[in-house]
Structure 1
Amino acid sequence: MIRLSNLCLVCLAVAGASLQARAATVAIEPVRDGTLYESATGDLANGAGDYLFSGTTAGVELRRAVFAFDVADALPAGSTVTSVTLTLQMSKTIAGDTPSTLHRLTADWGEGASDAPGFEGSGTTAEADDATWVHRFYDTSQWTTPGGDFAAVASATQTVGGALGPYDWGSTTAMVADVQGWLDAPASNFGWILLGDESTSGTAKQFISRENADTAKRPLLTIEYSAGAEPDADFNADGQVDGADFLAWQQGFGIAAGALPSQGDADGNGAVDAADLAAWQGQYGVVTPPVAVVPEPSAAALATLAALAMLSRRRSLRV
């Protein structure tokens, strides 16, 4: 019976640990995308078009696709990103296998209302705020380097063949780092740029954009993450979120770094601010045993088994 008790306690500990692991997956579309069409004047764009392009045309003109995702809106603050995959639907090409590299953009850019006709491979006249070969925002802000400002080292590489359909980039360590950085510092989120084979002509690939009517084929970023701990507004750890906890927050309000939970830091970021007050407001009136974990059914069964085993052990020891 003692062995059974120990085994049950181990099972209970594992169950408790699994309850605190809040893994989740989210899939999001871009909030903006477009194509940079090589042009000395930077007056070509396709901000609202149905397609994106990367690679080199038969006329030896470069195309580069750009897209950005609102990671901070999709994931809880404090989450840890564990896997990232970008899926693009390739819809037209005259080339076979070509490498396509994904690079993190280092400057902000826009998406205007330009909408190229036909297959959209040549672009159309740029409109206000469009990203072009020369401009980040047409025609007021320019890239430091024509063709886009981006990290030299690729975050991911994929061989895109002649077969139409979906292609995935990732997950890679660099892509995970990119998305984690965008979550932690949203102001640094400028998205990625996709470069095709630019060493020879006729390598261009056409991809479905976020504006395309075929919603199932739009660009998709799939993120796996582990959410951070829920904010805890029971600052005095008495098992109840009440007025005493508000007073603790009030006294600690304004601490910018190094704050303790007892000083009103609900989210564990070291600062006592409005976010901690919001956590208190959301949890006001909650009564729970201090440091308690509410088990799911499977964990509850293990807990019951462990409790019965412990009780049996105590009885056997008394005898």
Structure 2
Amino acid sequence: MLLSHLRSQLKCNASRRNSRAAQRPAAAELLETRQLLSAVTLQVGASQDTTIYASDVDASNGSGEFLLAGSGTRSLVKFDVGGASIPEGSTIIDAVLVLNVAASTGGSASVSVHRVTSSWGEAGSNAPGDETTGAPAQKFDATWLYSSFDGELWNNEGGDFGGASGSTTVGEAGAYEWIGGGLIDDVQAWIDDASTNFGWLIQAAASGVKSFVSNNAPDAGLAPTLEITYEEPPLPPAIVEGRIWNDLNGDGIQTDALLSDLQLSIVNGNTYFDGFGGGEHWFKSTGSGRWYFLTEDGTLTKWSGVGGALTGTVVGKVDPKFYLEPGLVETSIGDPEPWLDGWTVELIGPDGTVVQTTVSGGRDSNGDDAIDSVTEGGWYRFEVEQGVSCTVRQVVPDGWHENAKITFDTSDSSTQAINSLDLKQQSSYYEDLGGLGEKWLFGDQSGWHYILPSGDLYRWDAKPITSQNPLNGEYVASPGKAYFDDPGLLANGGYNSDPNITNSDFRTDFGNVRETIAKGRAWLDVRPDGFRNEDLELEPMPPLVELGDGEAWLFDFERDAWFIIDTDGQPTYWGNSADAAGTQGSIDSAPSPGPQLTVEPWLNGRTIELRDEDGAVVATTTTESIDWNEDGEIDFETERGWYVFENIPLGAYTVHQVVDSGWRQTAPHSIDQSLATQLDAEFGFSTTTSDFRNWGGRNERWVIDRDNRWYFMLEDGSLHRWEVGTTAAGGGLKGEFIAKLSARHYLDLELLTNPDTSGVAIEVDGERDALQILFGNYNLLDDEL
């Protein structure tokens, strides 16, 4: 009867419910407006409620239809907000308690709700009639004295509770709401720590009784409800990160020192992933034959050999990218390549603009409070909002170029395992073909797979399915029931175990090559000996002839001739010493003879070519004066005769000089090649039909000079003139030491007998400038002399 009366009152009170916002504080309105787009509202029903009675301290009403407040009665109500699927960390922005009054005596009264601070119970007690008199408490019922009859007592008779969290005036039958910051604070506390949720105590200030519908009433729609509006916590930022390294050999692979030493390899094209259930990758050392396993954090362990156990000796940690891309392990050979700190990296937003900037640097990966530049350098990192599409790029300094940009999939192992299968639907999902209610997908490389209604994915064992041989396969992962409902979500590598994460599933590393400079000089080799001499023998007095600006006298002692050297280092024949003597005249009336050179001058105007390892010319330049110190003047000794090739990619090259007509090139100034050129010019070496290796018992090789004298070279490149008559049998091969060349001259005698003076090989390795090559040039001057 009371409940039907209540139904008729609900229509009359609808306008009160709809005007709820008008009753709220202005702050609540602003909060709702601000959070409108991201807020979520849900309703939670009471999980337990009861009434306690001051007039009968052992009475309760755990299973009654009403909750009473007033005239010595109080009610308790609790809502399981922890089971309401509100994400941890959410912010409560509104809380509304809704109670429906079925009966009211004593006129309007203020009814308040208070946060309960102790646990209490609800059992099967059920008060009779209008329930203003309670029923005997059953075990675990809350009463006026007991929070749980008859075990735990309240700390205070009538319940343990705090100040009012909210209040409203309650009159006749109908729906009423309690709102306010106190309720919001209570619900927030319960969301943050479910162990503190003991609900509210309801009490009325007047002598009358207000009877509210409980959660045990026949009409569940009138039971107590708690309406909660919350904002979900912001997703943790996605991490966009990677590393930058100096790719010295230009192969796009960052070499790790530890892996390079171990020489690990993938066996039979398979890293034996997760062999012992630790998500580990397995490798075998080609040197020792020992097995090693690599775990997700980059720890590399030499296996103990105990079957089924991931035990052994930890040999070190490598960059986790080697776990993400295990194929990189066996390619990590050669000298370690350094990480690059101090490089600017930009995060590019969806519209192509730069939204963040950072600089690469060290990261204490092993937690030892120190940064090892060899193993822990080169990191960059951005934190970005989840789901935002963005890219990264590095700002490459002058003199460098980016030659590798590698993206690694950093998603969890299940995501990687599933996406690597590259599954797709064929003409059908062939549902229940194997009798397990499964659906089927196919991978071009991985074969047939099936997913069960439970969401577990298996690789079919390819055996015929019969009653005696039911469907069977190898477990792959558990993507979940949603992927059984729509297996297409697994297709084309689109699976992600955490659909909220996008950017943090990938890491991008950058490899960079230093654009090397190759430079050198050309000089006038007055003494055609292949060396730039700085102690030329000059006549004491040059001709008393006035020279032009920047010109100088140079005396060729071997030719007994004077030359004028212009500002480019080019010689012009003037005459011999006898001609000079005839020009002396009176010292007082003669012009100043000008400067004399005691050093072989640098030459401008020489054409220099850079050729690749196939002999093709990739760059050409000309020797010239360069004002290196930018003082506006060209220094005769330090700033003439230079050639420069800039921004050379990695590789092997040869530097050649194009020799002008009337000139002879005497040297490319690498030490052993110049020495070989000088020796060949001096002795005129040649080989005969045989090199007579080991004739003298020292594994030597033999050459002969233009005067038919014999020489032998030992394996270390040392050259000796044979002491005639000495033999292996006659006391040992002997000879006069002539010069020390190199082992490569021993292996190839033609480097001595026919030395190549046209070019010198250089290596551009990305770490340093190429070797400076100096070219000597001798002016034959046949026409002039």
Place the TM-score, normalised by the shorter chain, in its bin: 0.5 to 0.7
Is 1:154 the counterpart of 2:367? The answer is no
Asked whether the equivalents of residues 77 and 184 of structure 1 are also in contact (C-alpha less than 8 Å), the reply is yes
Is 1:166 the counterpart of 2:182? The answer is no
Is 1:101 the counterpart of 2:109? The answer is no
Asked whether the equivalents of residues 74 and 203 of structure 2 are also in contact (C-alpha less than 8 Å), the reply is yes
Normalising by structure 2, we get a TM-score of 0.28
Corresponding position of 1:43: 58
Asked whether the equivalents of residues 35 and 231 of structure 2 are also in contact (C-alpha less than 8 Å), the reply is no
Q: Aligned partner of 1:133: which letter?
A: W
Asked whether the equivalents of residues 240 and 504 of structure 2 are also in contact (C-alpha less than 8 Å), the reply is no
Q: Which of the pair has more CA radius of gyration?
A: 2
Corresponding position of 1:28: 44
Is 1:77 the counterpart of 2:88? The answer is yes
Q: Note closer, same or farther for the CA distance 1:20–1:165 as it changes in structure 2 (3 Å cut).
A: closer
Q: Distance in 2 between matches of 1:215 and 1:47?
A: 16
Q: Distance in 1 between matches of 2:184 and 2:35?
A: 24
Shift of 1:39: 3.9
Q: Distance in 1 between matches of 2:298 and 2:230?
A: 30
Aligned partner (choices 54, 59, 64) of residue 69 of structure 2: 54
Shift of 1:95: 1.7
Structure 1 moving runs of 4+ over 2 Å: 18-22, 229-232, 234-238, 246-251, 279-289
Asked whether the equivalents of residues 239 and 503 of structure 2 are also in contact (C-alpha less than 8 Å), the reply is no
Q: Distance in 2 between matches of 1:101 and 1:55?
A: 11
Aligned partner (choices 228, 231, 234) of residue 233 of structure 2: 228
Corresponding position of 2:288: none
Q: Aligned partner of 1:189: which letter?
A: N
Q: Distance in 2 between matches of 1:117 and 1:154?
A: 30
Normalising by structure 1, we get a TM-score of 0.65
Corresponding position of 1:138: 149
**Which fold has the larger relative contact order, with Cα–Cα distance below 8 Å and residues 6 or more apart in sequence?**
1
Corresponding position of 1:295: none
Identity over aligned residues, as a percent? 32
Please state whether the residue corresponding to 1:155 is helix, strand or coil: strand
Please state whether the residue corresponding to 1:176 is helix, strand or coil: helix
Q: Distance in 2 between matches of 1:53 and 1:80?
A: 32
Asked whether the equivalents of residues 21 and 226 of structure 1 are also in contact (C-alpha less than 8 Å), the reply is no
Q: How does 1:1-319 map to 2 (within 5 A)?
A: 22-39=38-55, 42-56=57-71, 62-74=72-84, 75-151=86-162, 153-161=163-171, 163-170=172-179, 172-198=180-206, 201=207, 203-230=208-235, 247=296, 283-284=496-497, 289-290=502-503
Greater helix share, structure number: 1
Q: Deviations for 1:124-173, whole angstroms, at most 9, x for unmatched residues?
A: 0100100000000000000011100000x210010001x21101000x11
Q: Aligned partner of 2:181: which letter?
A: T
Q: Distance in 2 between matches of 1:195 and 1:219?
A: 15
Q: Distance in 2 between matches of 1:179 and 1:23?
A: 16
Q: Distance in 2 between matches of 1:206 and 1:148?
A: 19
Shift of 1:230: 4.2
Shift of 1:93: 1.6
Asked whether the equivalents of residues 103 and 150 of structure 1 are also in contact (C-alpha less than 8 Å), the reply is yes
CA RMSD of aligned residues (A): 3.5
Q: Distance in 1 between matches of 2:45 and 2:501?
A: 39
Shift of 1:249: 11
Asked whether the equivalents of residues 240 and 503 of structure 2 are also in contact (C-alpha less than 8 Å), the reply is no
Shift of 1:78: 1.1
Q: Aligned partner of 1:210: which letter?
A: N
Asked whether the equivalents of residues 239 and 504 of structure 2 are also in contact (C-alpha less than 8 Å), the reply is no
Q: Note closer, same or farther for the CA distance 1:69–1:290 as it changes in structure 2 (3 Å cut).
A: same
Q: Aligned partner of 1:174: which letter?
A: G
Asked whether the equivalents of residues 65 and 214 of structure 2 are also in contact (C-alpha less than 8 Å), the reply is yes
Shift of 1:211: 0.8
Q: Distance in 2 between matches of 1:285 and 1:146?
A: 50
Q: Distance in 2 between matches of 1:249 and 1:93?
A: 70
Asked whether the equivalents of residues 237 and 290 of structure 1 are also in contact (C-alpha less than 8 Å), the reply is no
Q: Note closer, same or farther for the CA distance 1:76–1:248 as it changes in structure 2 (3 Å cut).
A: farther
Shift of 1:285: 8.0
Q: Distance in 2 between matches of 1:116 and 1:27?
A: 28
Q: Deviations for 1:47-88, whole angstroms, at most 9, x for unmatched residues?
A: 0111100011xxxxx000111111121111111000000000
Q: Note closer, same or farther for the CA distance 1:288–1:227 as it changes in structure 2 (3 Å cut).
A: closer
Asked whether the equivalents of residues 25 and 222 of structure 1 are also in contact (C-alpha less than 8 Å), the reply is yes
Q: Aligned partner of 1:47: which letter?
A: G
Q: Aligned partner of 2:170: which letter?
A: V
Asked whether the equivalents of residues 53 and 121 of structure 1 are also in contact (C-alpha less than 8 Å), the reply is yes
Please state whether the residue corresponding to 2:95 is helix, strand or coil: strand
**Residue-pair matches, total:** 234
